[in-house]
């Protein structure tokens, strides 16, 4: 009887492995990843809901922009969002596309706003801006843990008159 139970246990374990394949059992569903991206754009950036940050991001996460790498806490991210939303109170981040592959997703955004507060030492200009951004996010345990971003910083600075000096 003992051999039979052991054989049955091994059979079911083998079937589990075959049915699951080599996928990480902790991988995120596409819907979870999609909702994280949509909520970040809408709740955090467009509406300024800083309380959503711990729901969407791990306690510390890595952000890559160009050759710069930042390890951010929730408080660091709150400060960054506050800086931008103070400078651009009407800031809107619209998600145009999302492509999901396992625990990673790429998203294309359009970001708009009016320069009504100080940013990087530049006084408010009252000028409108619009730029595009591509953002890749990696998710673990239902939260964003790493991001890579590319945005049109030159176009942004040109639109606001930041290229000619302060």
Per-residue pLDDT of the chain (166 residues; tens, 9 = 90+): 555 444 444 444 444 433 444 344 345 588 889 999 999 999 999 999 999 999 999 999 999 988 899 999 999 999 999 999 999 999 999 999 999 998 899 999 999 999 999 999 999 999 999 999 999 999 999 999 999 999 999 999 999 999 875 5
Quick check: 84 and 91 in contact, CB under 8 A?
yes
pLDDT of residue 146: 96
Residue 105 lies in a domain: yes
pLDDT of residue 25: 38
CATH number at residue 45: 3.10.450.50
Residue 14 lies in a domain: no
Range of the domain at 30: 26-160
- Number of domains into which the chain is organized: 1
Residue 140 lies in a domain: yes
Residue 16 lies in a domain: no
Residue 4 lies in a domain: no
């Amino acid at each position: 009887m003992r051999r039979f139970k052991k054989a049955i246990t091994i059979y079911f374990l083998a079937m589990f492995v075959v049915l699951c394949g080599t996928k990480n059992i902790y991988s995120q569903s596409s819907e979870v990843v999609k909702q994280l991206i949509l909520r970040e754009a809408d709740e955090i950036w467009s509406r300024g809901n800083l309380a959503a940050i711990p729901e969407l991001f791990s306690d510390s996460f890595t952000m890559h922009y160009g050759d710069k790498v930042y390890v951010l806490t929730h408080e660091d991210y709150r400060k960054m969002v506050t800086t931008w939303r103070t400078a651009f109170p009407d800031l809107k981040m619209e998600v145009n596309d999302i492509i999901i592959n396992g625990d990673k997703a790429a998203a294309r955004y359009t970001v708009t706003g009016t320069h009504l507060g100080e940013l990087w030492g530049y006084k408010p200009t009252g000028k409108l801006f619009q730029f595009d951004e591509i953002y890749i996010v990696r998710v673990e345990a239902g939260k964003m843990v790493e991001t890579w971003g590319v945005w049109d910083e030159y176009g942004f600075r040109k639109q606001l008159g930041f290229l000619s000096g302060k």
